[in-house]
Amino acid sequence: MTEDQVNTRRSADHAIIEITNRLDRGDERFSILEEDLRQNTEATKRIAENTAGLVKLTSELEAGTRFLCRLAMAVRFVLKDIVEPFWKPSLIVFLVIYFATEHRFPAMIVSLMKMIGE
């Protein structure tokens, strides 16, 4: 072997060793990233398990709120469209009959009139 061949061989060996070292460092960095990714995945799974209860609670609250809104709409309908047209005339009829039989207004009405008048 000539000296040029020996030098070429040494530089090739040196290049192979350098490439091998770089690959080893890359493997070490990849192992660290792999461990970090595993820890991140475990944390994400724990968060998903913890938030599952919140998601269920939120959906139940949504259903409860929807029920209360529908109940409020029903009560509003009954009061506005059924009771309201009849309570004023009914009160007037009641007061006329009460005054005709008792010759005075009910004490509650008298107190209310005093409060309004003051």
Tens digit of each residue's pLDDT (9 = 90 or more) over 16-30: 888 888 988 888 898
Question: Residue 5 pLDDT more than 80?
Answer: no
Task: Please give the C-alpha separations between residue 32 and each of 21, 28, 46, 61, 106, in angstroms, as whole numbers.
Answer: 17, 6, 21, 43, 87
Using CA atoms, how far apart are residues 50 and 56, in angstroms rounded to an integer?
A: 11
Q: What residue ranges do the domains of the chain occupy?
A: 3-117
Using CA atoms, how far apart are residues 72 and 65, in angstroms rounded to an integer?
A: 10
For residues 97 and 107, the answer to whether their CB atoms sit within 8 Å is no
pLDDT digits (tens, 9 = 90+) for 77-104: 998 888 888 888 888 899 899 989 988 8
